[in-house]
């Protein structure tokens, strides 16, 4: 069985991601700023999981573009930036 694909919208301390790397194929946005909207829109087309921050806008268009997306996880409190 193939590992799930997870996209993380920002660099985080590696110690926090060690376990995730063991069970998933993880891609991390390398820049300090959030990925541009169009980049995020393209990335979600192929992922099973998304780890985002409050500065990422996860709207209806992003969610609808992600047919395999099973989970959106946010590093932070609240979900005002996620269109649920």
Give domain status of residue 82, yes or no.
no
Give domain status of residue 80, yes or no.
no
Amino acid 79: pLDDT: 87
Give domain status of residue 83, yes or no.
no
- The 3-state secondary structure of 17-45 reads HHHHHHHCEEEECCCCCCCCHHHHHHHHH
Domain housing 61: 5-75
| 62 vs 60: CA distance, rounded Å | 5
CATH number of the domain encompassing residue 69: 3.40.50.720
Amino acid 12: pLDDT: 83
Q: Is 81 helix (H, G, I), strand (E, B) or coil?
A: coil
Amino acid 14: pLDDT: 72
Amino acid 16: pLDDT: 73
Tens-binned pLDDT, residue by residue, of the chain (84 aa): 689 999 999 988 777 788 899 999 999 999 989 999 999 999 999 999 999 999 999 999 999 999 999 999 998 888 889 998
Question: Could you give the number of structural domains in the chain?
Answer: 1
- Closest to 47 in 3D by CA, of 27, 29, 31: 27
């Amino acid at each position: 069985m193939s590992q799930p694909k997870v996209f993380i919208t920002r660099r985080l301390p590696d110690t926090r991601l060690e376990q995730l790397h063991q069970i998933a194929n993880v891609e991390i946005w390398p820049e300090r700023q959030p990925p541009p909207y169009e980049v995020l829109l393209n990335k979600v087309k192929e992922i099973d999981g998304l780890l985002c921050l409050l500065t990422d806008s996860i709207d209806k268009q992003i969610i609808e573009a992600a047919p395999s997306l099973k989970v959106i996880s946010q590093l932070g409190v609240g979900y005002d930036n996620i269109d649920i």
